[in-house]
Structure 1
Amino acid sequence: MKNKLREPGRRKFFKDAATLGVMGTIGGGYLLSSCNKPGKTTIASSYEAPVFPTKAPDGKMLKAGLIGCGGRGTGAAVNFINAGPNLQLIALADLFQDQIDKCRATLKKNNNVEIPDENCFVGFDAYQRLIDSDVDVIIQATATHFRPMHLKAAVEARKHCFIEKPAAVDPVGIRSVIASGKMAESMGLTIVAGTQRRYQDDYNKTFSMIKNGAIGELISANCYYNRGGVGNFIRKPEWSDMEAMIRNRANWRWLTGDSIVNLMIHNIDGVNWFFEKHPVKASGVGGRYHRPTGDMYDFFSVDFVFDDNKHYQGMCREMDGCTNNVGDIILGTKGYTNGQNKIFDYNGNIIWEYEYPLGKDGQPTNSTAISPYDQEMICFVTAVRTNKPINDAEQLAHSTLTGIMGRESAYTGKDVTWDDIIYSDLKLGPDEYKWGLVDIQPVSPVPGIAVTR
């Protein structure tokens, strides 16, 4: 790989959720021992999990624009509207008119929100026209490939941003996101990322237990994102190559980064969070057998190595007819955790578990009182209104780059280091964005032959 950039100072990228500026406006922490049922282990409290606000504070009207009007974008827009008082969604941008039409219909039917025609923008420049309109905050939920350029434009326009995961599909995009994050920090802007586990109460309580020594020193981890296939894609005759690719983005690596980046980002971000650092090397395998279109792999298995030679294994698969498993195991010298809500000893006994709120039937609901999708927007709006910025850009970029490092190791069949990948000039996708032919063939990388630039 070509290392064309000078190495920047290495800043510890992890930031405790409790140190986020917004948390300072909310109050004290959570006593860890208060979660424990009779007979369960009590862990002495020194690190306290953040207490998230249940609603954003009132303030002047905040007007949001949504870039990317698919299902996740529409959902994120609703989460924003419901985060607190005086919040409006006033503009939409997408590459396709039918996506805007569906989004508008859903918002009208379910939330009585109407977006006027003049605030709906279509095409490759739609994001810029939305950013230049009368919006205060930007919600980004496009195909991952476009995220770095959209974030850069939004920050340059001094707009607060919610940015869905992952950050980018390649190292060039990752460096752009990190730079935009630095620029946003200097401007006092908030960037909240869609790695929602960090805004989910059960994960935060579990993290606090681990931080306070509930399983001893962390040793290793295993994480899994194994699910069914994405199905076949039927191309309409009137679609150009570009339109067909973008509508079929779940199968093209230049648009999503492949499944290890697009899906396992949640697991990778969680493990990196609990270990409070990112790996420095990856050694992976992967391949393709089931997927009928595009150029992505069907499965990955990657050994990630930290700077102290501790390892964790990540497995990702999209195949029908196979055993599904989405979850994590983080192992310590005294026990292990699923990362979300339980801690076990090595005899398999539960020594601590998160207490979920009770439902109307008096039984635990198995979900947090506030969904993480709502919570991340509540924290986003709270940070903006209290002028205590949150900046998740670098955290998201580093977790995404971990996945890219693993992907390139599997593609090439070779070990890939952090320095190899972060300074690589690898850039996926076409040189220009226009409707028509695209010179990208559905050829998957072959390990031992493929080369990462």
Structure 2
Amino acid sequence: MADVFEDRLANSYKNLSKEFPAQVDVPPERRFVGFDAYRKAIDSLRPGDVVLLTTHAAFRATHFAYAVEKGVHVFMEKTFAPDPGGVKDIIRIGQEAAKKNLKVACGLMCRHSTARQEIIQRIREGAMGQIQLIRAYRMDPGARMAPYKGKQSELLWQIRRPYFFYWASSGLFIELMIHQVDECCWIKDAWPVSAHGLGGRAADSRDASQNLDTYAIEFTFADGTKAMVNGRNVPNCFNDFSTFVHGTKCAAQFSGNIHAPTVQMYKDQRIAPEHIVWKPPAEKVNPWQAEWNVFLEAIVKDRPHNESHRAALSNLAAIMGRAAVHTGQIVTWDQAMASDFRFCANVAALDYKSPAPVRADAEGRYPVPVPGNWSEI
């Protein structure tokens, strides 16, 4: 086990040992603290073992590269990169993993939902006609951050609060909605050619982080199909967590609350219980477990399994949408693929004495995207 913070490492070990006492075997000499702790943890493994990369996106490529260098299989949690430069790193390292026959699983578990797999098959067979519109929502009270008071390392303070900084985790929008963006791309079996969006903050916001409160993105695919991805993190509002699909023949629900397999087709475009005409069988294994079953079986039976390229491109689609909102511009897939932009170019060299990649102002608040004056692509 490895962490930058000793208290978090201790808490993680305590909680895992309590929940899985028979499986956890991590004596003190295999618990490492520091920015280089990931190396020591991976060095404790044998070639062919599995490493879980569950830090935030800023460090994913650095840790992934070392794992592949050492010849271990990788499970990595989303998100995978905070910026286009990081996405390119993940793609390149994933290619190296494939050359070594290493298995790579990525935490977009909805791809392993049998209910969703079944409706995808029906979509491919034409049961819904031509897909024209996808609608995805994640709306909840969200989270806010208090100002930085300047009494501790600003870098470490940010790493403890990664969801509030684009360099560290991609920001709250992508952390939460990469799954919905991935679902849209899966439904279309394609990547969007452009993104257009808008967003903002509530007028009374006191949030000191970099996040916006609302994101509304219109993705366009090559055949003209639109995917509308909407996120709102504002308290006391209507909440929603779902994905819907509209074809020329009928509509369907693709996903439900907290990624529930709420999958059903309707007889027409009316989304109502009395119009449901089809549901898949109940899932026997939840997608979080299913992704691990597939991953471990691929290792045991030496089957090809490398999700890194697809996961990286889904991440890039989400970055493209975020950039469209933040910059106020229409951002194309070609622009996103060509971009080498990085929020933090020296992330692999960070240590306890490093300055933070983004600095607070005199009030302890951090820069927020202003469309027309912001760049991240």
| TM exceeding 0.5 | yes
Asked whether 1:221 is paired with 2:134, we answer: yes
User: Aligned letter for 1:344?
Assistant: Y
The reply on whether 1:110 has 2:19 as its aligned counterpart is: yes
Task: Please state whether the residue corresponding to 1:429 is helix, strand or coil.
Answer: coil
Partner Cα separation in structure 1 for residue 10 and residue 152 of structure 2: 18
- Tell me which amino acid in the other structure corresponds to 2:104: I
Query: Which residue is 2:258 aligned to?
Result: none
Residue 139 (structure 1) aligns with: 52
SS of the residue corresponding to residue 338 of structure 1 reads strand
Q: Distance in 2 between matches of 1:395 and 1:347?
A: 31
Give me the whole-angstrom Cα distance separating, in 2, the residues matched to 1:337 and 1:103.
Answer: 40
Query: Pick from 242, 259, 275: which aligns with 2:172?
Result: 259
Q: 1:237: Cα distance to partner?
A: 7.0
Q: Which residue of 1 aligns with 2:320?
A: 405
Pair 1:314 & 2:236 matched:
no
Instruction: Name the structure 2 match of 1:345.
Output: 267
Inter-partner Cα distance in structure 1 for 2:372 and 2:334? 21
Residue in 2 that maps onto 1:119: 30
Query: Aligned partners of 1:377 and 1:147: how far apart in 2?
Result: 19
Secondary structure in structure 1 of the residue aligned to 2:376: coil
* 1:450 equivalent in structure 2: 374
User: Is residue 264–residue 316 contact of structure 1 (8 Å, CA) maintained in 2?
Assistant: yes
Cα drift, residue 233 of structure 1 = 4.7
Report the 3-state secondary structure (helix = DSSP H, G, I; strand = E; otherwise coil) of the residue aligned with 2:242.
Answer: strand
Answering whether residue 158 of structure 2 is matched by residue 245 of structure 1, we say yes
Q: Is the CA contact 1:124–1:434 (under 8 Å) kept in the aligned structure 2? A: yes
CA contact (8 A) 1:220 1:331 kept: yes
Task: Give the counterpart letter for 1:293 in structure 2.
Answer: A
Q: Would you say how many aligned residue pairs link Structure 1 and Structure 2?
A: 351
Cα separation, 1, equivalents of 2:39 and 2:31 = 12
Match of 1:330 among 236, 245, 267: 245
1:451 CA displacement = 2.7
Report the identity percentage: 30
Match among 354, 379, 384 for residue 280 of structure 2? 354
2:303 pairs with one of 384, 388, 395: 388
Distance 2:309 2:189 in 1: 13
Q: Which amino acid aligns with 1:119?
A: R
Matches within 5 A, 1:147-296: 147-233=60-146, 239-289=152-202, 290=205, 292-296=207-211
Alpha-carbon deviation of 1:309?
A: 1.9
Give the aligned partner of residue 426 of structure 1. 341
Cα distance in 2 for residues equivalent to 1:161 and 1:375: 16
Decide whether the 8 Å contact of 1:107 with 1:114 is kept in 2: no
**Contact 2:145-2:209 within 8 A present in 1 as well:** no
The separation in 2 between residues aligned to 1:355 and 1:383, in whole angstroms, is 25
Unaligned residue ranges in structure 1 (runs of 5+): 1-91, 357-367
Structure-2 change in CA distance of 1:439 and 1:196 (3 Å):
closer
List per-residue Cα deviations over 1:166-215 (Å, max 9, x = no partner): 22000110001011111111111111111000111211122122222221
Measure, in 1, the Cα distance between the counterparts of 2:302 and 2:249.
Answer: 42
Q: Which amino acid aligns with 1:107?
A: L
Aligned equivalents of 2:306, 2:206: Cα separation in 1: 37
Contact 1:233/1:248 (<8 A) preserved: no
Q: CA deviation at 1:291?
A: 5.8
Q: Does the CA-based 8 Å contact 1:241-1:435 persist in structure 2?
A: no
Structure 1 match to 2:362: none
Give the secondary structure class of the aligned counterpart of 1:264: helix
Task: Output the aligned Cα RMSD.
Answer: 1.7
Aligned mates of 2:67, 2:269 — CA distance in 1: 51
- Contact kept? 2:56, 2:79, Cα under 8 Å: no
What does the per-residue CA deviation read over 1:51-80, in whole Å, with 9 as the maximum and x for residues that have no partner? xxxxxxxxxxxxxxxxxxxxxxxxxxxxxx
Q: Aligned with 2:64: secondary structure?
A: helix
**Deviation of residue 323 (structure 1)?**
1.3
Query: What is the alpha-carbon distance in structure 2 between the residues aligned to residue 151 and residue 412 of structure 1?
Result: 30
Offset, 1:389: 2.3
Q: Scaled by the length of structure 2, what TM-score is found?
A: 0.89
Question: Which stretch shifts more, 251-260 or 324-333?
Answer: 251-260
Local SS of the residue matching 1:263: helix
Matched position secondary structure for 2:339: coil
Give the TM-score of the pair, scaled to structure 1: 0.74
- Contact 1:207–1:339 (CA<8 Å) still a contact in 2? no
Deviates more, 1:197-206 or 1:431-440: 431-440
1:258–1:297 contact (8 Å) kept in structure 2: no
Once the two structures are superposed, residues 2-21 of structure 1 have per-residue CA deviations (whole angstroms, 9 ceiling, x without a partner) of xxxxxxxxxxxxxxxxxxxx
In structure 2, runs of 5+ residues without a counterpart are: 256-262, 360-365
Matches of 2:150 and 2:171 in 1, distance apart?
26
Distance 1:425 1:291, change over 3 A: farther
Residue 60 of structure 1 corresponds to none
